[in-house]
Amino acid sequence: MIAWYFKRAIEDILANRFLNAVTIATISLAILIVGFGVLFVENTGDVLAAWKRGARIMAYLKPNATAGAVPRLKWAIQSIDGVATARFIPRDQALAHLRAQMRRQASLFDHLAENPLPDAFEIRLLPTDEGWERIERIAARIGAFADVDDVEYGQQWVATFRSIVDLLRLAGIVTAGLFLLATVAIVANTIRLVIYSRQQEVEIMRLVGASEGFIKAPFYIEGLIQGFAGAVIGLGILFAVFSLLAAGAEQSAVVGLFEIRFLSAEMIAAIVATSMIVGWLGCYVSLSQSLRS
């Protein structure tokens, strides 16, 4: 029976080629947009995760901190849960490092009466999948030590990046939702036109004892096929565009910080399933309006 339903669905698609092509193209476009959004969110998530894995906190000491306080402070910092290492950087070493880094602007340092840099600790954290709260919590504990003047861990950069990512994610969800809704409406219209063209046939089928399920099943399969085809084409285009962009990115400095990757197999399966559900939904909307007995 399933084979019969598929045969009927394929016959309908072939009989209404143009309508179905437009519908599949629309689904492809929606999937392309949704897929692009998911790709962006997954990769920006990777950037943040990569930063988290190698997270570094700088703790700057007060000018009046004594040399004797350094070992005690180092021990206290290393005892904090989640801290991997704490390396002391004396202010002279920091200045030398800065001079080396800014060799071309060496004249800037010529008139310095004294070293303006404070002593500091460079603290590396243990790799973890925990959220930002952990870094913030550790930074707060370090900042609470009496000899620590200030703590810096790129919080401003991270906050800005996170808010941009969150904003884009929200925009992506809204756009994807609107596109998927529009796609449901377009699939519904296509199926409605197919139903109108088969109205007489449907009536005759009812008269010879066909159940509603028997009549409707091919339409649902048609919707699922449209959804599947749209997803495959949309994801195919997305992969082609991604391959081009990724090839360009390999030559840039971005590579090495994190790996640009395509959607995971699970995400591809989820997108295909979503697309098929959209096709099914469009069919459901249309059948419940047009095929009342």
Q: Are 118 and 60 in contact (CB under 8 A)?
A: yes
Instruction: Give residues 176-205 in contact with other proteins (rule: CB under 8 A).
Output: 200-201, 204-205
**Orientation of helix 132-143 relative to helix 155-197, angle to 10°:** 170
- Quote the least distance from Cβ 181 to other proteins, whole Å: 30
Alpha carbon separation from 272 to 57, 227, 260 (Å, rounded): 42, 8, 22
Q: How many residues bind other proteins (CB under 8 A)?
A: 15
Of 62 and 206, which CB lies nearer to other proteins in the complex structure? 206
Of 171 and 210, which CB lies nearer to other proteins in the complex structure? 210
- Quote the least distance from Cβ 228 to other proteins, whole Å: 25
AA letter at 81: D
- Quote the least distance from Cβ 204 to other proteins, whole Å: 5
Establish if 152 lies at the interface with other proteins (CB under 8 A).
no
Residue from 4, 75, 109, 157 binding other proteins (CB under 8 A)? 4
The enclosing H or E element of 199 equals helix 199-207
Instruction: Give residues 202-231 in contact with other proteins (rule: CB under 8 A).
Output: 204-212, 214
Torsion, Cα 280 286 289 291, to 10 degrees, reads -90
Of 55 and 191, which CB lies nearer to other proteins in the complex structure? 191
- Quote the least distance from Cβ 200 to other proteins, whole Å: 7
Q: Are 258 and 46 in contact (CB under 8 A)?
A: yes
- Quote the least distance from Cβ 134 to other proteins, whole Å: 58
Is residue 248 exposed (0-12), middle (13-18) or buried (19+ Cβ within 10 Å)? exposed
Provide the binding-site residues for other proteins, judged by CB under 8 A. Answer: 1, 4, 200-201, 204-212, 214, 293
